[in-house]
Homo-oligomer: A and B are copies of this chain.
């Protein structure tokens, strides 16, 4: 198929550090190309991809220091990308942060079949701690924008009426996520972006109560007051560099090494996380996950087989001594079967085909009487 992937222009593809949507877009494209599809990626010029790359500026916006609330350049990227829509069989966009909400008006009556993956949670009309009500207004176009959720939980949690056409979980490049085979450590691990919702403080408490060491790794988002404050005020005082260690942000190689060696991953999330990429990364490396049974976790973990689903801190503490009963090969195999880039790409292609074949049936607004045409 001729596929357009329009990436949000904020982080590079793949991302330097954290960036869930950006990892997925990268994996999806690499898999599409290897399956023989003709893919064009619309992204900033610092993208690394096997697809054709079309860029409207050289650097991703965060690299250039653009504040998340400054929408003009992101809008330009989306608008200019969509000018090329008719060159493709399908146009795939990604709703991940505030400025992506323009996808609704700008794709609502594309004549080319299109679909949007919902990566984050509503509302999108946010600036720091302020929340507005523009999301409600933009739902006017929702019937005309086919959407894909990244988990059944994400789909169920959506507070607005979206036109969902499917659920496709994230997928990993299995050849990249291969256990190192190096000596197993005695430690548990937590890895991610430091925000209260991820429950890092609970992971620390669980490790303390179960008397096991825990290694923390990942990024403090210096553009997010919440992230900086959470790390400095709540997490940092708990780090003793003996039982509780923080090793900083990790690159891909370090992440694979760390997760391969860890006994288990602690995931006491305090929100309905729509997916949880780090859970499948961990499992792909044989590292079982003990997670609160919230968000997409019950769709990702088979409790007792690839880790444990627990309902509170007591249960997490109780499960920690049982972690070595989980077969690390079975854990990896579960990811291979359900959460590989290969599987993800196949599921997307199926939805693309269905959309292309039924496109005339997709309702489109105002088509009877267009009163104006825009320059693309």
A residues near B (Cβ < 8 Å) are 56-57, 64-67, 69-73, 75-76, 79, 82-87, 98, 101-102, 105-106, 108-112, 124-127, 130, 132-135, 137-138, 141, 144, 364-367, 370-376
Contact = CB atoms under 8 A, between A and B. Distances in A.
A98 B71 CA distance: 10
A85 B137 contact: no
A70 B72 contact: no
A133 B76 CA distance: 11
25 contacts: A57-B137, A66-B130, A67-B69, A69-B69, A69-B70, A70-B126, A70-B127, A70-B132, A72-B102, A72-B132, A72-B134, A72-B135, A72-B137, A73-B125, A75-B75, A105-B374, A108-B375, A109-B372, A109-B373, A141-B375, A365-B375, A367-B375, A372-B376, A373-B374, A374-B374
Contact of A85 (B79, B124, B372): B372
Nearest to A85: B372
A364 B102 CA distance: 23
Contact of A106 (B82, B133, B374): B374
Given A73-B133, A372-B376, 11 more contacts: A70-B127, A71-B72, A72-B124, A76-B105, A76-B137, A82-B372, A85-B372, A108-B375, A109-B372, A144-B375, A373-B374
Contacts of A111: 372-373
B376 A371 contact: yes
A132 to B, nearest CB: 6
A7 to B, nearest CB: 17
Contacts of A67: 69, 127, 130
Contact of A130 (B70, B82, B85, B373): B70
Contact of A86 (B57, B76, B372): B372
A125 B70 contact: yes
A284 to B, nearest CB: 37
Contacts of A72: 71, 98, 101-102, 124-125, 132, 134-135, 137-138
Given A69-B67, A71-B71, A72-B101, A83 B371 contact: yes
Contacts of A370: 373, 375-376
B132 A73 contact: yes
A76 B138 contact: yes
Contacts of A82: 372
Contact of A73 (B57, B70, B76, B134): B134
Contacts of A105: 75-76, 79, 374-375
A132 B372 contact: no
A77 to B, nearest CB: 9
Contacts of A125: 70, 72-73
A372 B137 contact: no
Contacts of A374: 105-106, 108-109, 372-374
8 A-B pairs closest in CB distance: A72-B134, A69-B69, A109-B375, A86-B371, A366-B375, A73-B134, A365-B375, A374-B374
Contacts of A71: 71-72
A365 B42 CA distance: 22
Contacts of A108: 374-375
Nearest to A133: B73
Contacts of A133: 73
A69 B112 CA distance: 32
